[in-house]
Structure formats: C-alpha cells, structure tokens
Amino acid sequence: MRTEQKHQAGVILALDTSTASMAAAIVSENEVLAEIQSLAERNHSVHVVSHIKAMLQNSGITETDIEAIAVGNGPGSYTGMRIAVSVAKTLAWVWEKPLVGVSSLEAIAYGACHQQLGAQAEETRAVDGDGEHWVIPIMDARRGQVYSSCFSMTNHAKWSRWSEDGVRLMKDFVEQLKERLAELPEGAVQSISLVGDLSLHEPGAARLQEIGDSAGVTVRLQPFVQEGKWIAELGRKRLEAGLTENPHTFIPNYTQLTEAEVVWKAKQEGGAKV
C-alpha cells in the first residue's frame, strides 16, 4: 500500500537486483558517496548485504544518516528483483525509514539518457527547440520477449512516460513503435534511443533502425547497465512527491502481457474483431 506523506530527501540508499547487475549506491543530493555495480546475477543474494555494509563503511554513513531507501522493483528476473525488494523492505522496517519503489526500466532509461544523450540533446537543441527524444529501455525476457516501456525527453529537459512497463515480443513491439511514429506529425520525434540489454535482440534493433531511416528519425543503439545512482535519483523524486510504500505489503512488479498487448497481438494474427 502506498502512502502520500512528503519528505525532504537527504541521504538515500538505493539498490536494484532485477538484472544481471547488482546496482547499489548511497547518494546525498547530487553527490554519489558510494556505488557498487556487480555483474554476478546468480550471486546477488550472497553479496547484497555485504555490498551494502561495504558502502556504508566506505562512505562513513550509518543507518541514522539514511533518510530513505529506494529500490528497483522490476520488472526483470523473478528471483533477482525479489532479493533487492526483500532487503529494502527489511532495512526500511528495522531502521524505520521511508521506502520508495522505482521502475527498474525507468532507471535504465533515465540513466542512459542523462549519461549518454546529454551532449547529443544539446546539439539538437541548437537546431530545433521542438520535438521529443524517445528513450526505449529493454531487458531480455527470453523466448524473443523483452521487458520494456517508453519514455520521452524534450529539448526542455521534461521527462515523461508514455508506455507502461510490460513484457512484449520484441518483433511486435518494434512494429508498434512504427505505428505510433507514423501517427505523429513530421518532426514530432527527433531521435529514438534503444537502451539496456541489446545483445540478444539485434534483429529487432536493426529493424527499428530501418524504421527510423524511413521516417527520417535517428535511431541510436545504446547498451546500458543499471546504475544505483539513477535508482536513487528517481527515488528522490518519488520521496519528495510523497509516494512512499508500506514495507510490509510492497511487492515487486511481476509484469505480464498487458491487455493492450494481448489485443494488439490478436489483431495482427487475425484473431480479434476490429
């Protein structure tokens, strides 16, 4: 259950284990005091607590200094995301700290956008003050599927979501993006960045680039590994908005095919009435 009591964010402990990377950070305002990125998916449960202890020790921060705990709540690896959520819930309860949940997909998109696209956005801004930059994060969900969602960044640094987190067939998802792009006026979208775990979905990525070329929209392929500081940054925004979670009832986002995805897929296969 979510509550809406606003807080002023100080030091935030952030963690995410929804992907092969265990990402964790201790962040005070815009300063990263400690950060760990461990690529050992099968050992997240073994190392997560020791990594948190090491960050606290290295940063000189104690539990009394922590203002809130932010956790990536998926979607992603079923077992993986439960690890971070369980640890975050326990710490929030024991330390009596506010808990905020953050979309792991949004953190990948937000981090990739701010880390890699800043200079490119500045170049575009000098040419045209309008238009959006789409940021499309994906994680492999096996069998040709991806966990995905869609976000936009304007040239005025306005960040927004326009598609919910879901699990989708990559080949269908790319065609849906084509349909949405075709519905918009020319120049409404200046660039598309496909970010995250791209290695197993190269055909879909190549198809998206073809679509972009036909529409006159630059498509960038940007591998990106989750980073704890972006979980903290998005967690701070939710904390300041009062969007905290009950540590006793909070659960990860066990994403399934959305209703819209099921209907769209059925239409493409001729199994639904138009």
Q: What integer pLDDT is reported at residue 272 of this predicted model? A: 44
Closest Cα to residue 24, out of 5, 8, 61, 221? 61
Beta carbons of 264 and 176 less than 8 angstroms apart: yes
CATH number of 2-104+226-254: 3.30.420.40
Give residue 264's pLDDT: 62
Model pLDDT, residue 125? 46
- Amino acid 217: pLDDT: 95
| 149 close to 109: Cβ distance less than 8 angstroms | yes
Q: Which long-range contacts (CB under 8 A, 24 or more apart) does 210-217 make?
A: 211/174, 211/177, 211/178, 211/181, 215/181, 215/182, 215/189, 216/186, 217/181, 217/189, 217/190, 217/191, 217/192
Question: Is residue 105 within 8 Å of 234, Cβ to Cβ?
Answer: no
**Domain 106-223, CATH:** 3.30.420
- Walk along the chain (274 residues) in steps of 10 and give the mean pLDDT of each run: 57 94 92 88 75 94 95 91 94 97 97 74 50 95 94 89 95 97 93 95 97 95 96 96 95 70 63 42
Identical fold between 2-104+226-254 and 106-223: yes
Residue 107, pLDDT score: 98
Q: Tell me, what's the pLDDT at 5?
A: 54
On whether the CB atoms of residues 111 and 159 are closer than 8 A, the answer is: no
Q: Domain boundaries in the chain?
A: 2-104+226-254, 106-223
